[in-house]
Structure formats: C-alpha cells, structure tokens
Amino acid sequence: MSWAQVREGSSPSLGTMLKRVSSDKKLHAYIVGLVLGDGNLSNPNGRAVRLRITCDKKYPELHRYILSSLQKFLPDNKVFISYRKNCLDVTCYSNMLEKLLGWKAKGGSKYAQMVEIPKWILRNKIYTKECLRGIIQTDGSIYKDRGYLMVNITSSIPSLAESVVLGIKSIGYKPNIQPHQDPRKIKYTIRISKNTQKFIDDIGVWKR
C-alpha cells in the first residue's frame, strides 16, 4: 500500500507534522460511503475534526472491519471504538477529514450541506461499488420480503438519494425509489428487488 503525506495543523508554530493518507482510491471511496451512510463530522474542541461512524452492536465483525479500514486509510492517526447503550462509534480525529470527505465539520448536518456521492467516485464503476458497499453496510439493510431478497437504502437527503440511484444504475442495476413524508422532511427509500443476489455479490456487501 502507498501513501501521500499531508501536513496536519494550521501552522508550523503549532507543532504540525506530516501524516500519511492512503493513496488507495478504492479504500478512499469505501470510507466516503461509510460516512455518507452513518457518519458525521464535528469539531468539539475547536482544534481537531472528529469523525464518528456509528455501527450496530449486532455486527461485531463489521465494526472491526470498519476500524481496520479507517486505520489503513489514516495510518498515523489513532482510531478507536466508543461504546454506547445500543450502538458504538468508530472514531478518529484528523484535520484532513474535511478535504478527504468533501464537507465541513461546522457546516451543519449532512442534510444542511446536501452531501452526495462525489463525482470522482461516480465516474468510476469500481469506486462506485466500494462507496455503495460502505453506504449499505452502515445505513442499509438486506432482508427477505415474502421470500424475495431485497436491499434497502434510506435517506432524508435528496442529493444523496439521487446520487445513490445514479450510482446503482451506472453499474447495471435498476433501483426503485419511493419518497415518504415524515413529520419534518421527506425520506427516500431506495430498493433493489431484481437481481438482488447478483448486486450483493457484485459490490461485495455483507453485514455480520
């Protein structure tokens, strides 16, 4: 694996240092997908941007895999798990995160910033598959409905829902999207109900 070096911090006087970022674009696309699915950026101490990716406790292998993937992506930054009552957060601090992910810690929610799958990912089918895998692993579901295998992705962010549909179509599948009015905003449900097992195998998604 190869890395690029990025200076982290605002000025040399504040003790900045060069830290490595993986140059693996597939891994980068996967991390973007994880955060688009169920991650958030914040800056609680005013010094370092914090990334938290929330995981369901019932998928222990998945949260270990997410921790390992994030550590490979930012090998010089500490990645750790914080446990909550019904879930856990895979957490990392880095001032490189805003540039790497494409939105701001202090720009409001992902809804307010109208996040979406970045164009550099959508232009490449391999990167698109990696990103979709991350989104589904953190904010999607795989289940059977009356014996038929389904994949669902839900989002209240119209720009993200639209880019997910574009991504799925670009790799050869036909998703269905349905809007549902919640009390405060519209929620979009994207469903893959045809060639579902092929889709699952194609992008390599799993939850366990």
CATH number where 186 lies? 3.10.28.10
Q: Is residue 208 a part of any domain in this protein?
A: no
Let me know: does 167 contact 122? Beta carbons within 8 Å: yes
Q: Is residue 97 a part of any domain in this protein?
A: yes
Q: Is residue 134 a part of any domain in this protein?
A: yes
Distance CA 30, CA 70 (A): 10
* pLDDT tens string 69-121: 999 999 999 999 999 888 899 999 999 999 999 999 999 999 999 999 999 99
Which of 51, 57, 2, 35 shows the shortest CA–CA distance to 135?
35
Rounded (5°) CA angle 63-65-70: 95
Segment 5-15 shows an average pLDDT of 47
Confidence category of residue 9, pLDDT binned at 50, 70, 90: low
Backbone torsion region of residue 102, taken as left when φ is above 0, otherwise alpha when ψ lies between -120 and 50, otherwise beta: left
Backbone torsion region of residue 94, taken as left when φ is above 0, otherwise alpha when ψ lies between -120 and 50, otherwise beta: beta
Q: Is residue 72 a part of any domain in this protein?
A: yes
Which of 75, 19, 204 shows the shortest CA–CA distance to 129?
204
Residue 17 lies in domain: 3-203
> How many domains does the chain divide into?
1
Residue with tokens 């750790």: 80
Which of 34, 191, 54, 23 shows the shortest CA–CA distance to 117?
34
Helix (H, G, I), strand (E, B) or coil at 57: coil
pTM of the entire predicted model: 0.90
Q: Is residue 83 a part of any domain in this protein?
A: yes
Query: Is residue 15 predicted with pLDDT exceeding 50?
Result: no
Let me know: does 117 contact 128? Beta carbons within 8 Å: yes
Which of 55, 23, 14, 19 shows the shortest CA–CA distance to 139?
55
pLDDT at 13: 40
